[in-house]
Amino acid sequence: MRFKKVLSVVDCHAEGESGKVIVGGVGQVPGDTMFDKRVYLETHMDDIRKMVLFEPRGAVWHNANIVLPSNHSDADMGYVILETTEYPAMSGSNTMCVATVLLETGILPMKVPVTELTLESPAGLIKVRCECSNGKVTSVRLVNQPAFCYHVDRHIEVDGFGTVRVDIVYGGMTYAMVDAADLGFSIEPSEARELCEAGQKIKFAAAQQLAVEHPENPAIPGITNTEFMGPLRREKGRLISKNCVVVSPGRCDRSPCGTGSSAKLALLHAKGLMEPGETLIHESITGSRFTCTIDGLTTVGPYRAVIPAIAGQAWITGLYQMGMDPTDPYPEGFTVADTWMTTV
Question: What is d(CA 309, CA 109) in angstroms, rounded to the nearest whole number?
Answer: 23
Find the catalytic residue in 18, 91, 255, 288.
Answer: 91
Q: Is 254 in contact with 212 (CB distance < 8 Å)?
A: no
Cα-based torsion angle of the residue sequence 270, 300, 290, 151 in order, rounded to the nearest 10 degrees: 40
Question: What is d(CA 254, CA 9) in angstroms, rounded to the nearest whole number?
Answer: 21
Question: What is d(CA 235, CA 225) in angstroms, rounded to the nearest whole number?
Answer: 29
At residue 336, the 3 state secondary structure works out as coil
At residue 34, the 3 state secondary structure works out as helix
Q: Are strands 77-82 and 114-121 parallel, antiparallel or unpaired?
A: parallel
Is 8 considered catalytic here? Answer: no
- Residues 6 or more apart in contact with residue 6 via CB below 8 angstroms: 25, 321, 322, 323, 324
- Residues 6 or more apart in contact with residue 315 via CB below 8 angstroms: 12, 13, 100
Active site residues: 91
